[in-house]
Amino acid sequence: MKIFISVLSEFVFWYPLVMSLLWIAGSSLFFKYREKEGPLSFDQIEWPLISILVPCFNEEDTIEETIKYLSSLNYPRKEIIAVNDGSTDNTSSTLRRLVNQYNELKVIDCKENRGKANALHIACHASNAEFLVCVDSDAILDSYAAHYLIYHFLHKGERLGAVTGNPRIRNRDTLISRLQIVEYASIIGAIKRTQRILGKVMTVSGVVVAFRKKALVDVGLWDRDMITEDISVSWQLQQRFWDIRYEPRALCWMLVPETISGIWKQRIRWAQGGQEVMLRHWGILLDWRQRRIWPVYLEQWISLIWSFSWVFVTFYYLVTASTIQQLFIWITFSSFALVFMSLIQLWISLKLDSPYDNITKYYLWAAWYPVIYWILNAFIVIFAFPKAIKSRLKGGYATWSSPDRGNRKMG
């Protein structure tokens, strides 16, 4: 038993340390070789028509602002398709009023909540463009975000299926929202850059992503029975050998939860969606053609195993530690190395994102957050796993509920 605990303790200690080093190296390489492109000559490119898809559920407080900003984008040729997915508030009446104000806007009013993926299905069928830009109904696109997304499709080849943008947080008035600013830079941004260097990504960002319609049709559009349609469609595309790219200049300002319950529900949903994908797509390990995505898939399983291992080891030492001092030594030793690595990871990540969003000022008081991320993520993963298994057995439409949007103020 002692040997088993010793090995498990080594795994619990080294895994986040190694992954942090990997994210630092991968994001730095991406920045050096793929991110330092010159400015685009927007006026010298013939931009194609795009369809901006906006699925909505109970968004009466945000949808008018989102549509206003989408309509004012500098992109020359666009249509906006908003789908009200059975909202129980005033979203439907708000959209009907907005149709008379914006010529580019089309509204589809569904009477029953069938989920975000189903709303995107409907919007895709109603679209006239080959390139689709999907935006959440609380998000504000940067003036040239669409240009940066679509530019990839025009210059990176016909096998490019999707380009994911760079979500930025706009409500910054509370501790929880500011911690998420750090998270998006030091963890989510670093992971996306690293995975892109490896060639495959776990998921596009559902809040801002552009698709080639032909690629979506090839994989049967979005899975309507998966709780996170963005993760699911990412795997569908890559299994059919469509490429996915990351464009950090395509900024999208989003609202994040500002309550503990709100962020807990959001992260449970994210973790459940990732696990649903893991359970559905295990067959890729038997297909040699899919070998480039194996590292991303295996990392998800190892992360799941680490979460259970961390809880087990921590509980074991808590119960069996002969003295408080022994337990304190274990926790201190493990935490010190991770905190030190987190300081390095966070500083590098914030510097990489600073050209787009001045967030280096959050460094000193939030440098410890990556450590908290690992601990919080462990509990989230464990709680989400039974939900993922139950969802796979149940099937049916993956409906959504009203999220916590926080304080609606621009940062």
Q: What is the pLDDT of residues 19-67, one digit of tens each?
A: 888 989 998 898 888 876 667 778 888 999 999 999 998 888 889 999 9
Tokens representing 168? 């930025």
Let me know if residue 21 belongs to a domain. Answer: yes
- The pLDDT confidence band at residue 401, using thresholds 50, 70 and 90, is low
Domain range for residue 383?
A: 1-38+156-397
Least confident of 79-88, 192-201, 357-366: 357-366
Let me know if residue 176 belongs to a domain. Answer: yes
Closest-CA residue to 83 (of 61, 121, 58, 109):
109
Q: What's the sign of the alpha-carbon dihedral 410, 178, 354, 62?
A: negative
Let me know if residue 317 belongs to a domain. Answer: yes
What's the pLDDT tens digit per position in 226-263? 888 899 999 999 999 999 999 999 999 988 888 778 88
CA separation for the pair 77, 104 (Å, rounded): 9
pLDDT for the residue numbered 66: 92
CA separation for the pair 76, 48 (Å, rounded): 9
* Residue 225 near residue 203 (C-beta atoms within 8 A): no
Is residue 347's pLDDT more than 50? Answer: yes
Let me know if residue 160 belongs to a domain. Answer: yes
Spatial neighbors of 93 by CB under 8 A, at least 6 apart, are none
Whose tokens are 């621009």? That residue is 410
In one-letter notation, the amino acid at residue 294 is: W
Let me know if residue 211 belongs to a domain. Answer: yes
CA distances from 116 to 75, 201, 207, 229, 264 (A): 25, 21, 12, 7, 20
Is residue 326's pLDDT more than 60? Answer: no
Domain count, the chain: 1
* Count, residues in the chain: 411
Let me know if residue 45 belongs to a domain. Answer: no
Let me know if residue 118 belongs to a domain. Answer: no
Let me know if residue 68 belongs to a domain. Answer: no
User: Which of 182-186, 212-216, 229-233, 272-276 reaches the highest mean pLDDT?
Assistant: 212-216
Whose tokens are 């890729």? That residue is 284
- The pLDDT confidence band at residue 215, using thresholds 50, 70 and 90, is very high
- The pLDDT confidence band at residue 172, using thresholds 50, 70 and 90, is confident
